Structure 1
Amino acid sequence: MALIRPFTGLRPLPEQAAAVIAPPYDVVTAVEARARAAGRPWSFLHISRAEIDLPEGTDPHAPEVYAKAAENLERMVAEGILHRDTQPRYCAYRLTRGAQTQTGLVAVASVAAYESGRIRRHEFTRPDKEDDRVRQIEALHAQTGPVLLTYRQDAAVAELLAGVTAEAPEFGVTADDSVVHTLWVIRDPEVTAALSSAFEAMQSLYIADGHHRSAAAARVAANRKAANPAHAGEESYNYFLAVLFPHDQMCILDYNRVVRDLNGMRPETFLESLAAEFRVEQEPEPVRPSARGEFGLYLAARWYRLTLDPACIPAADPVGRLDVSLLTDRVLEPLLGIVDLRRDPRIDFVGGSRGLEGLMARVDSGEMAAAFSLYPTSMEDLMAVADSGRVMPPKSTWFEPKLADGLVSHVLD
């Protein structure tokens, strides 16, 4: 079974692309989705967050939400807003945010490669989130949210994509957040074959974002295989929608932490406790860490820089050396008593796109007692963890810019 392959994608007409594309379903709340989709009948949010078309307060996991999503998708196809390729195609996809540009490939990736570990993971998944994506896929008979994959930069792929993107694109649209999404449909069979061969030669791919989507696709594939006595392995359900970017073009922002209380300590006592492990320095400006082992702390309306002795960082341990692990192992667990980052209500996570101001606002409001700013996880760290067969702590990576929903969907025949 091929590692990746082209597919008959369901795409918006070029003149409708700006009206269709939307943020990923999991980065907007229902309230934000309603506001963004207001007056936009073709926004993909009517599919990815279909509860916005039902009474306020509707459970987003209720059966009628998935049914409404399917109804909305069928309507967009019937109205000609979305159309499906007649031949399997790859697409080149470019994201541009200011000076940052990343160019990748839209494809479908092998479920078998995911299950065997050739497509490598670095996160645990939650069953309830998997269940949600399984219900969405089954209701739509389509995968509409792409998995973000990465691969070690490859000269052959770069050259092929450079040739494709030298031509006029199918469309280019600027989203609400000023990110430009540009798509090229690859119709040259020789280029398609060369891309397939180049990826087939790779030892592995890595999930950057979309662990629940890929896990859900694997569950759907298993269910459909069991129900299909003529299963041959090449059916569309054996693959999942993905966008693949080279690792050296990916951007990971910091993923910061806020805590609700200091575990019974006063601020000055907490600072004294930190001094046993870190060099603690008060700073006049917000602290954005510039190196591994350095942290910012916002506490009682003041910023502090926390610096760990490099000798305390376990360089040979791909998980233990992560800043998210260092903070957990040396502060959150022993001092604050926060052991389960997935379930403890005393901790929350703030993506780097919110800025240091977002951390300060959570503390200044009185909602949280303290905030920690972290140095971003690197792509090399992500791949090292995945290669070791281990997982990162929760909320270790925040990728920007985000992929658009609605750009291309994968129909399960």
Structure 2
Amino acid sequence: MTKILPFKAVRPTRDKVSLVASRSYQSYTQAEREARLDYNPFSFLHIVNPGYKYDKEISGEARYNLVKNRYLEFKEDGIFKQDTKPCFYIYKIVDRDHQVFNGIVAAASVEDYTNNIIKKHEDTIAAREIVFKDYLKTVGFNAEPVLLTYPDNSTIKTIINEKQKERAEFEFTTTYRDTHLLWLIDKEEDINAIAETFNKTKTLYIADGHHRSSSSKLLCEDLKTDNKAHTGEESYNFFMSYLISESELRIHEFNRLVKDLNGLTKEEFLIQLDTMYRIENRGITPYQPSKAHHFSMYLDGEFYSLYLRKTNYQFNTSLDQLDAQLLFKTILEPILGITDLRNDDRIHYLSGKKDIVNLKSKVDSKAYTVGFGMIPATITQMKQIADDGLTMPPKSTYIEPKIRSGVTIYEF
């Protein structure tokens, strides 16, 4: 049983939403950020980067307070308005490749997360959790939902389809040629049907946003302690989520780039690889693996295919079957000496949305010595690993959709 609630979102006005909505701050290059901050006074980036107007880098509590000030200014200026009644929100994305994503923005329960009804498949870093918790506690809002996935459900699909016959509240296309649409679900019968349907859903899975959800748990614990009249229904007992059916989720791989061969020559490296892999030199022809436990490798101007010698590797758990884990346990750690996948600056991750030629260009630039490509993990693998209480290595999945910040905002 999962608890999903409607909420009163703070949203941009219809005429400003295309200007306000932004990608996550980290996804922009410095030049892109500066261009938007220079020429678009309505961008949500002005809120999350409040020091820009002072031409100064500001961090810590001082930055958090300025973020809150910029947010309040957007509300005072009428750029943001809060809905007068709790709603669910249908958010649709049609990307430049014509893939369509339909989901529901709602408030998910911290208690469900704590009780493992909302399951995770990635570890979080305690220091990052605390930093984001402190940020949330100061600013009092969250603008980036956690991406949750649920089994396909005909009731939810019917409600979404029927609502989308109406004119969307928001419809805008970004400079990246993605089209975003938003509808409000404000009728009691629809709200109740959605809430009751999810109440019958045994488990939800976090697809993206592990640190956001864990930080929301810490925030709830802090505010609960501070509130002597705590009831469990306060807004801090929930966190904003974007719920999408499993069939509409898109999982891409993260390919790996490594700066050096850990002191080995090319020949020594290939000989060590031969213990665990059947190796074939593919020359200059790009090779992209198509099966689990097969990898592509680009080294010294040539592509190689690597096929696991299964007699030398034991599959004891669901995690052992994951290619990102397999690559780590057979190559990155024992041969290349990379033990900390989060913090070792010798390794870099490249989204599988960028093709294998992009990996080649990174190695050819001499910034990296070797690159590895793999196939994406599946939703079945992700769920099984979560069900088994295991966690994937960092950057095991690049998951879509990615919705825009500032379109719906959840206040605590």
CA–CA distance in 2 between the matches of 1:377 and 1:50?
Answer: 38
- Alignment-derived partner of residue 91 in structure 1: 89
Q: State the number of aligned residues.
A: 410
CA deviation profile, 1:233-274 (whole Å, cap 9, x unmatched): 000010001100001111111101111110111112212222
- Give unmatched runs, 5+ long, in structure 1: none
The separation in 1 between residues aligned to 2:75 and 2:222, in whole angstroms, is 26
% identity of equivalent residues: 33
The structural deviation recorded for 1:357 is: 3.6
- Please give the secondary structure, in 2, of the residue aligned with 1:353: coil
Change (3 A) 1:30 1:221: farther
Q: Which residue does the alignment assign to 2:77?
A: 79
The correspondence of residues 304-383 of structure 1 with structure 2, limited to 5 A, is: 304-309=304-309, 317-383=317-383
- Looking at structure 2, the residues matched to 399 and 391 of structure 1 have their Cα atoms a distance apart, in angstroms, of 16
How is 1:172-321 mapped onto 2 (pairs within 5 angstroms)? 172-283=171-282, 284-309=284-309, 317-321=317-321
SS in 2 for 1:366: coil
Tell me: CA distance 1:53–1:212, structure 2 relative to 1, closer, same or farther (3 Å).
farther
Task: Give the partner amino acid of 1:367.
Answer: A
Deviates more, 1:110-119 or 1:300-309: 300-309
Change (3 A) 1:383 1:2: closer
Task: Give the counterpart letter for 1:353 in structure 2.
Answer: K
Q: Please give the per-residue CA displacement for 1:148-178, whole angstroms capped at 9, x wherever unaligned.
A: 1111111221112111122211111112222
Distance 2:381 2:213 in 1: 21
**Residue deviations 1:308-352, cap 9 Å, x none?**
245667566211100101101111111111122122222121122
Alignment match, 1:164: 163
Q: Is the 8 A contact 1:33 1:52 kept in 2?
A: no
Assess if the C-alpha contact under 8 Å between 1:11 and 1:82 holds in 2.
yes
Contact between 2:2 and 2:203, CA under 8 Å: does it hold in 1?
A: no
Q: CA distance change for structure 1 residues 35 and 352 in 2, over 3 Å: closer, same or farther?
A: farther
Letter in 1 for 2:232: G
In structure 2, what is the equivalent of residue 400 of structure 1? 400
SS in 2 for 1:70: helix
Mark the runs of 5 or more structure 2 residues left unpaired by the alignment. none
Query: CA distance change for structure 1 residues 214 and 30 in 2, over 3 Å: closer, same or farther?
Result: farther
TM-score (normalised: structure 1): 0.94
Q: Relative to 1, partners in 2 of residues 1:187 and 1:286: Cα closer, same or farther, differing over 3 Å? A: same
- Change beyond 3 A, Cα 1:2–1:251: closer
Q: Taking structure 2 as the reference length, what is the TM-score of the superposition?
A: 0.95
Residue-by-residue CA offset, 1:116-149 (whole Å, 9 max, x unaligned): 1000011111123223322321222111111111
Aligned-residue RMSD, C-alpha: 1.8
- Within 5 Å, which residues of 2 pair with 1:133-144? 133-144=132-143
Aligned-partner Cα distance in 2 for 1:20–1:121? 31
